[in-house]
Structure 1
Amino acid sequence: MNQMKSSLKRVKKTSSEDIISNEGDETDQQHHWHNRTRTMQQNLNKKLLGKSVLVILHCATERDYYSSLAYTVHDHLVGRWIRTQQHHFETDGKRVYYLSMELFMRRTLGNYIEELEEREMDAALGNGGLGRLAACFLDRMATLGLSSYGYGLRYDYAPGKFYFQLFNSGDYIRDVAEQSFTENITRVLYPNGNNDGRPITMLEKLLPRHLQLIQQINAHHLDLAQQKWPDDGDHRRRMSIIEDQVVNMGYLSIVDSHAVNGIAELHSSLLKSTLFKDFYGLSPEKFQNKTNGKTPRRWLLLCNPELSDLIASKIGEKWITDLSQWRNFVNDEQFVRDVQRIKLGNQQSLLTKFTEEYDNTNIKTVPRTVIFGGKAAPDYLQAKLIIKLICNVGRIVNHDSQIGDRIKVILLENYRVSLAEKMIPVADLSEQISLVGLETSDTCNMKMMLNRALTIGTLDGANIEMDEEVGRGNIIIFGMPVTDVDALKGKGYNSREFYEHEPELKRALDQIRGGYFSPEDPNLFAEIVKSRLGSNGQKYCEKKESCFQNQLVMWIFGYGSLVWKPDFRYISRQEGHVKGFIRRFWQLSEDHRGLPGKPGRVVTLISTGNQCDCVYGVAYEISNADEVSVRHVLDVREKDGYTIIETNFYPKDVEQKDMTCYTYMAHRENPFWGGDAPLDQIAEQIAHAYGPSGTNHEYLFKLAEAIRTITSAHDEHLFTLDQLVKTILTQDEQK
């Protein structure tokens, strides 16, 4: 009970009352929350004791606590809901009513007590993007204090929680129960996506008056089309809401609506030029764009509290409604490091949770874990096959003796909102690889970017607008734009040309088709390959190579403090050297190892062009997911006069091949160029300089020590300065 009491102190502010009642100073607010917490504790005890005379505090089960807390929270929220309604009634403002077949909400008790959160199931009110978008809209409206109400369908079962074999034929309503159709409509969240048409016979039986209204609407609609195109009967036929005794619900929605919008700029454009071209021609004023979004309240404030606190410590809490304020800190070195630290901490916490949950202390981290999340509608057979393929690939890869310690493949079981809230804050790389022109507007890319994940994807959906907003330097885009895809379709391009000319692609598809990943049923995945090599397959195959190239790692060579103090995440390190350079203490430092007016000296590379000259150091392997953040950290770290160059690196291990790497080198025209000077003069400067990162001589000593462990080659400049500075410091101590 003490544990439960302490957890209740962590009540989070999430209701509309918090938005309305936000006046008063900090002391008043603390007093307010203290009283609310105490009231909830008292109510919880009453509910717990009131359940049964046999239940006493010291023997109450977790289920008892869960039920009691649920009733307590219910009572608590009802009072606040009534006060909110009273506020809206008194202010008499405009109200928003959001109608959706799905409202994909998360668990709610997690807002109050974490220990009981796992007892609560995610509400079966939605399945995917439609429901999650609706939930985000409601969250956002609550954040903005708008008077808003969500109306949806309360389903009894959702995919993953019911046996759907009976429904795969599509006749799921009749098979659920022998009760009335009206009850069965919400028995099961529709197990397939084929819901755009409604038979006239069904509407005549269930909704006869509605059918009459639909027929009247269609007649008026076709009259308008006749006036627009008096000599073109094809328009009337194509645009009819009723065709072949089926009501097209999509067409009905367009005709009935005051405004129609796509959910990304590209999507909206394609709706007007392809799918609903005729409707756009009839009523162009209706068509708009509203790019999908995400709510920072849930996808940062709630699911990543440490990052939220860090941001609030810099700019206050107004960022929740104005993310543009973050721009002021992109060059704040400490802020960037703190963000990286939080990301790593989230990953370590999740690993610990998995270790405890699966009671396996042997869980180990690997450089890359590929995580898939998603579900397939029960009658979507190819999607089911793809999920099965992912699991089978994971079975092979995860137990491979050669690569098992380098990469893992995981499919998350029962992917849902509450699980997404745990995974999104730990993701490094967000892969949004859709067929250009077919993805409407996924929002997971926004959620992961919000939590500092790098996005790699095609120029599709919301990726286009994210690219415009953050800049190409902060997102990786590959593949063709939609205009080139359309041109490719026009040529009748054959995907088999890619298949025949790309050995890696051919080998992968052959393995899938030939049963390598399904030895128990060699033909299990043949249909997947067949579809990829069919009429639409060229779009899958075309982008494979560019996607692969964009996920190659980057190597960074360090020859100064990076040798002994890399402050970023890396996959592996290689000791070795670069050729054609010498290392010199010719760059001044006023931001790390010195102060304005009293600079220290740090190293830079000096190009000689002589391949006999070598500089030893360490090359770090950086994953594609970390490339942008690592480059940003180094750009800030080396901002005073350094530029990045590309060169070859030669590993100390002779069995390793040389590789292309990047390194930072000071240019002679930069304002902090110190240049050559007598060694005793440079030594005197290093011996007595210090800055925010420490003393200048510490930098020298640690670098010299590290280089001696890497190579036996003599670095005369470095080692001579090392000895001179030690002599100066010894003399200073003797004075």
Structure 2
Amino acid sequence: MATFNQTDADKRKQISVRGIAQVENVATIKNTFNRHLHYTLVKDRNVSTQRDYYFALAHTVRDQLVGRWIRTQQHYYEKDPKRVYYLSLEYYMGRTLTNTMVNLGIQSECDEAMYQLGLDIEELEDIEEDAGLGNGGLGRLAACFLDSMASLGLAAYGYGIRYEYGIFNQRIKDGQQVEEPDDWLRFGNAWEKARPEYMIPINFYGKVERTDTGRSKWVNTQVVFAMPYDTPIPGYGNNCVNTMRLWSAKAPQSFHLKFFNDGDYIQAVCDRNIAENISRVLYPNDNFFEGKELRLKQQYFMVAATLQDIIRRFKSSKFGCRDPVRTSFDTFPDKVAIQLNDTHPSLAIPELMRILVDIEGLTWEKAWEITQKSCAYTNHTLLPEALERWPVSMLENLLPRHLQIIYEINSKFMEQVALRYPGDFDRMGRMSLVEETPEKRINMAHLAIVGSHVINGVARIHSELLKITVFKDFYEMFPGKFQNKTNGITPRRWMVLCNPSLADAVCEKIDDEFITDLKHLRKLEPLADDMALLRNIQKVKQENKMKLATYIEKTYHVTVDPTSMFDVQVKRIHEYKRQLLNCLHIITLYNRLKKNPNMPFVPRTIMIGGKAAPGYFIAKKIIHLINAVGRVINNDPIIGKKLKVVFLENYRVSLAEKVIPATDLSEQISLAGTEASGTGNMKFMLNGALTIGTLDGANVEMKEEVGDENIFIFGMTVDDVTELHKKGYKSMDYYEKNPELKQAIDQIKGGYFSPWDQYCFKDVADALLYHDRFCLLADYEAYIKCQEKVSELYKDPVAWSRKCLLNIAASGKFSSDRTIEQYAREIWGVEPTRTKLPAPHEVPIIPKEEDKKKN
């Protein structure tokens, strides 16, 4: 059994939080822990494993959630506020245990209880599987938003899919990415509650008939059931616990009854898997559309189950307009806000129309008014290959009624366009929901725009580019529909949880109000010359770097110098994110050191992490190249400790919580005009890293907040990129003119880093020389010069720390609380209450007959 180290316990400082009721004392936690070990897990201390101890602690902490969870739902039922429904196919939640302890304010008691029981709480926390139900930024944003909605007291629900296998586990074998299944549920999930009583039938295939009353009826369908699993989402210090409801596919009992009747029982049971495959696995693609039928099934499965659930809750609301025979939907937009997180849930629009027209009997006009007023759409990308376009043939087969509805929506919309722009058939073709070439397809972004009352981008530059590029025609027709909502991150997970020593240092100077209102960090600005504070920030950073260095040596068997600059780029591996530009810089530094080993050099440990989509050939080659370059550099005795390269295998939320607090330099180097926003850039900024980046995504607003002198900006602007492409970009020109660039690419192409195969990375070099879509070579020289400025500043620890402090102070804008407040007021039409509910011990929880209606 592990022995808890008191010095580690001392470092895990509990942020003192005003107003959080400390209802648990250490003795109670120990008693509850032992009760769960015995009665829930059926173990004693003689046979228990570390995993058993983790589950006992998780159940102990969950006990503190349950009363608050029930009370919150009772409160919503009593007050009947407008409810927000966030629909996302991805939620990158990470681990739950520590986040829950932080938000409930019981972390210090749990620390002490585990210490008294002879257990190391950090070891128990590390046993929890990451809930990797997302690919990257989009899914992690959704997770931050859920935290903020609960912390702001919004009556909000997150809806998605309970994938049996989340984003794959990445293994590096011989320098190359190998995908392994992420069986995250194999040991169970302590945080979810199955709700079989709310199982919902979902229809696929079939055909459409007309009834005697003239309504359309979808018949002869194949039915799959959606089983909900609820996870509590605690707000910070307010006793508010919202719900994330994830759907799991279940075959009906009567599945393939014919096989049973024919005596083929085995075949009938085996074929149940076909239905249940819908929620089996997350598609591991980021910013790339794959038109697979299973993916379409997943999208419809999620929205169909969710909308039935929303309407059930609307009909049963305490003050809703109810009629014993027929529900009035007049108040539906006043009580329901549906946010579509990208186009993945855009089938919610025709599905809501189908329910209102075919089932509830509303007129088309009334149903359309309700649908538009209820739905809003967030766009997350400008990349053409990421925009969803479903083949008409696939929709016709899988969802025949929905295709009819989409055609009807398009027909009426085209009439509007023709009235507004008479005779402009080109514009009508561009704006149509139905694309005729190269095959007949439905443009889901166009459907989402037409069916929503608000469309928003996720950074100011992104939102402006939407208006003048991909959605230009729609903006000209509906300028009032378009808004910007710059992304944000939750400070609870991304400082208080992952960097408690930094949070303590901030609390000592400006109190703890920043945890719920990040703008309070501005109070640090006048302290930029406080040497005691700067030394404290240096000390915290160095401790975090030493921890990460220990982890790297243990995990990757690479020894790194914790006094070197930790230069980090962690994100999905994609050409537009330009990890290759980073790699060219690494090779350039290496070549300079090889040429002159005694040159003045600021030691660097360069870390790159991220997963490539399994079918993305060049992205996987980039991973292979980074590892090959690292192998050469890390084993070169001339280089020694001056330069190290580490590829962070299997980058995920729990690893990010170790890496981000230890980072000195954050790489945000995408081509201007390609990254929608980014949220990793915000996490690094909040934790005192300096940013090197282009004027892309949220970098633009970060620069405005922190000032030009406290961020390293390089490279072309969006206008520069546009002008370059107009003139005709030739990457070969840059290759020929810059000797260092030429040398690096020649080494890649000629097998310098792949002695086992001279042509191993020829494809990568050719991509740079002949298909440099994201203009790496055009930005190379500016990037190298900017990196030289970074090294120069790092030589002055005080000046560096001062800029780190100013970055922390300027990160207040990038709180997801601020983002959600703007969504609430400007899109959903609700006011964040920031209400603190009574804790269960303060107000008795009285079971009510209506409780079954609230969930």
AA partner of residue 144 (structure 2): C
TM alignment of 1:44-443, pairs within 5 A: 44-50=33-39, 55-111=43-99, 112=101, 113-161=121-169, 183-192=276-285, 193-195=288-290, 196-243=388-435, 244-320=439-515, 321=517, 322=519, 323-355=521-553, 366=564, 367-443=603-679
Q: Which moved more, 1:334-343 or 1:350-359?
A: 350-359
Q: For residues 457 and 219 of structure 1, do their structure 2 counterparts lie closer, same or farther at Cα, with a shift above 3 Å needed? A: same
Which residue is 1:612 aligned to? none
Structure 2 counterpart of 1:475, from 691, 702, 711: 711
Q: Over residues 112-169 of structure 1, what are the superposed CA-to-partner deviations in whole Å (9 max), with x where a residue is unaligned?
A: 5422122221113111111011111112223323332211111122332498699xxx
Relative to the length of structure 2, the TM-score reads: 0.59
Match of 1:733 in 2: none
Distance 2:748 2:756 in 1: 13
In structure 2, runs of 5+ residues without a counterpart are: 102-120, 171-177, 182-248, 250-269, 291-387, 565-602, 807-855
Partner residue of 2:800? 629
**Pairing 1:582-601 to 2, within 5 Å after superposition:** none
The residue that corresponds to 1:607 in the other structure is none
Question: SS of the counterpart of 2:489?
Answer: coil
Q: Report the Cα distance in structure 2 between the residues aligned to 1:467 and 1:625, rounded to whole angstroms.
A: 22
Q: C-alpha separation between the residues in 2 aligned to 1:256 and 1:625?
A: 55
Letter in 2 for 1:141: M
1:183-228 deviations in Å (ceiling 9; x for gaps) = 3332221133214122333323332332232222222222222122
The change in CA–CA distance for 1:538 and 1:627 in structure 2 (over 3 A counts) is farther
Alignment identity in percent? Answer: 50
Q: Distance in 1 between matches of 2:289 and 2:276?
A: 20
Deviation track 1:529-549 (CA, whole Å, cap 9, x = no partner) reads 222223545821121111111
> Is the 8 Å Cα contact of residues 263 and 289 (structure 1) preserved in structure 2?
yes
Alpha-carbon deviation of 1:332? 2.3
1:373–1:412 Cα contact (<8 Å) kept:
yes
Report the 3-state secondary structure (helix = DSSP H, G, I; strand = E; otherwise coil) of the residue aligned with 2:153: coil
CA distance in 2, matches of 1:234, 1:39: 71
In the alignment, the residues of structure 2 paired with residue 10 and residue 339 of structure 1 have an alpha-carbon distance, to the nearest angstrom, of 15
The one of the two structures with greater contact order (alpha-carbon pairs below 8 A, sep at least 6) is 2
Residue 786 of structure 2 is matched in structure 1 by 550
Compared CA separation, residues 103 and 272, structure 1 to 2 (3 A)? same
Output aligned runs, 1:334-733, within 5 Å.
334-355=532-553, 366=564, 367-534=603-770, 536=772, 539-552=775-788, 623=794, 628-629=799-800
Q: Secondary structure at the match of 2:543?
A: helix
Q: For residues 303-328 of structure 1, what are the alpha-carbon distances to aligned partners after superposition, in whole Å with 9 as ceiling and x for unaligned?
A: 11011011111111111212333333
Contact 1:259–1:287 (8 Å) recurs in 2: yes
Q: Tell me, in whole angstroms, the C-alpha distance in 2 between the residues paired with 1:284 and 1:630.
A: 44
DSSP 3-state at the match of 1:552 = helix
Q: CA RMSD in A?
A: 3.3
Distance change (3 Å), C-alpha of 1:94 and 1:401: same
CA–CA distance in structure 1, aligned partners of residues 775 and 471 of structure 2: 23
Structure 1: stretches of 5+ with no match in the other structure: 167-172, 556-620, 636-735
CA distance in 2: counterparts of 1:632 and 1:299, whole angstroms? 19
Specify the code of the residue in structure 2 equivalent to 1:206: L
Q: CA deviation at 1:386?
A: 0.7
Q: Distance in 1 between matches of 2:477 and 2:275?
A: 35
Work out the CA distance in 1 between the residues paired with 2:615 and 2:628: 21
8 Å CA contact 1:319, 1:325 repeated in 2: no
- The answer (yes or no) to whether the contact 1:142–1:148 under 8 Å persists in 2 is yes
Shift of 1:48: 1.2
> 1:264, CA displacement in angstroms?
1.3
SS in structure 2 at match of 1:57: coil
- Contact map agreement 2:793 2:800 (CA 8 A) in 1: no
Amino acid at match of 1:453: A
**Cα 1:56–1:199, aligned 2, differ >3 Å: closer, same or farther?**
same
Secondary structure of residue in 2 paired with 1:324: helix
The answer as to whether partners of 1:199 and 1:245 remain within 8 angstroms in 2 is: yes
Aligned to 1:42: 31
Determine if contact 1:396/1:517 at 8 Å carries over to the other structure.
yes
- Answer yes or no: is the 8 Å Cα contact 2:462–2:697 preserved in 1: yes
Task: Give the secondary structure class of the aligned counterpart of 1:281.
Answer: helix
Q: CA–CA distance in 2 between the matches of 1:191 and 1:198?
A: 18
For 1:263, the aligned partner's letter is V
CA distance in 2, matches of 1:64, 1:633: 41
**Is the contact between residue 91 and residue 134 of structure 2 (CA under 8 Å) also seen in structure 1?**
yes
Corresponding residue pairs, total: 548
Partner AA of 1:460 in structure 2: D
Deviations 1:64-120 (A, max 9, x none): 223333444444422221122223333443332211111111111234542212222
Scaled by the length of structure 1, what TM-score is found? 0.69
Query: 1:467–1:475: 8 Å Cα contact kept in structure 2?
Result: yes
Which deviations, in whole Å up to 9, do the C-alpha atoms of 1:277-298 show, x marking residues without a partner? 1111221111111111211111
Hey, what does 2:229 align to over in structure 1? none
| Distance (whole Å) between structure 1 residues aligned to residue 391 and residue 795 of structure 2 | 51
Deviation at 1:47, TM superposition (A): 1.9
Tell me if structure 2 keeps the 8 A contact 1:494–1:538. no
Contact 1:102 1:152 in 2 (8 A): yes
Distance 1:311 1:429, change over 3 A: same
Judging changes above 3 Å, is the alpha-carbon distance between structure 1 residues 359 and 233 closer, same or farther for their aligned structure 2 residues? closer
Deviations along 1:22-50, whole A, 9 cap, x unmatched? 758xxxx45x242xx44332222112122
Instruction: Decide whether the 8 Å contact of 2:561 with 2:605 is kept in 1.
Output: no
Cα–Cα, structure 1 residues 5 and 334, in superposed 2: closer, same or farther, change >3 Å?
A: closer
AA partner of residue 706 (structure 2): V
> Structure 1 residues 9, 543: CA separation in 2 closer, same or farther (over 3 Å shift)?
closer
- Residue 194 of structure 1 aligns with an amino acid whose one-letter code is F
Deviation string, structure 1 residues 382-405 (Cα, Å, up to 9, x no partner) = 111111111111111111111132
- Alpha carbons of structure 1 residues 353 and 634: separation in structure 2 relative to 1, 3 Å: closer
DSSP-derived class of the 2:138 partner: helix
Instruction: Tell me the amino acid that sits aligned with residue 424 of structure 2.
Output: D
Task: String of CA shifts for 1:578-615, please: whole Å, max 9, x gaps.
Answer: xxxxxxxxxxxxxxxxxxxxxxxxxxxxxxxxxxxxxx
CA distance in 2, matches of 1:633, 1:293: 19
Aligned mates of 1:131, 1:223 — CA distance in 2: 37
